[in-house]
A and B are shown apart, each in its own frame.
Chain A
């Protein structure tokens, strides 16, 4: 079974802190994604990566950065956390370079910024 794990299920941080969310997948997938999910807004793409050290901005990249130094690991960084970044953060991975493929999601990290 594909497994995507996220470093924390719940996280509470203070405004202005630097926050690291880590995601690891064990299926050698090329593509990895970070989403945030808010009630009524659905899943919104923050960043995605289609290869090591490669990244593309999604729909809402402002206030976030990412790092992919190894194929299995994709990190989301909040440089200076703000209260409007309180949300559920979901990591996903998928296979294929030119073919389509379903995404497999991690369990999510519920981040609260006070």
Chain B
């Protein structure tokens, strides 16, 4: 069964303390892996798409990487405004469906 698991469930960082969020997946065929940011009470906001192992994407303090089994979202020198829930999703071959992980709640303290 196709599955996406995110860890940790929650993470508290001091401002400037870099860390990584993990998204591991077990799918029959990966078409794409997506990262989203979700603020409380709002819809998810698209961040990155990764298509193949070895690919990397960057945006400001965020960098997403992809291997054959997992993806990491690296946060460098985070600021309080980076506090949010980060969601990972995969799309598998031969389907329009996306499978979401349950997210990592990130809190960055000033």
Q: Which residues does A use to contact B, with CB under 8 Å?
A: 4, 31, 33, 40-43, 45, 48, 50, 56, 58, 90, 92, 100-108, 110
Q: Per a CB cutoff under 8 Å, which of B49, B101, B102, B103 touches A102?
A: B49
Cα–Cα distance between A92 and B44 once the two chains are bound (Å): 9
Min CB–CB distance B32 → chain A (angstroms):
4
Beyond the given A42-B87, A58-B97, A102-B34, please list 16 additional residue pairs across the A-B interface where CB-CB is below 8 A. A4-B43, A31-B96, A40-B102, A41-B102, A48-B96, A48-B97, A50-B96, A56-B96, A100-B31, A100-B49, A101-B32, A103-B34, A105-B43, A105-B45, A108-B41, A108-B42
A-B contact pairs, 9 of them (CB 8 A): A42-B87, A48-B96, A48-B97, A50-B96, A100-B31, A103-B44, A103-B46, A105-B45, A108-B41
Q: Are A45 and B98 in contact (CB under 8 A)?
A: yes
A107 is contacted by which of B34, B42, B98, B102 (Cβ under 8 Å)?
Answer: B42
CA distance A92 to B18 in the complex (A): 31
Task: Known A41-B102, A42-B102, A50-B96; judge A100-B43 contact (CB<8 A).
Answer: no
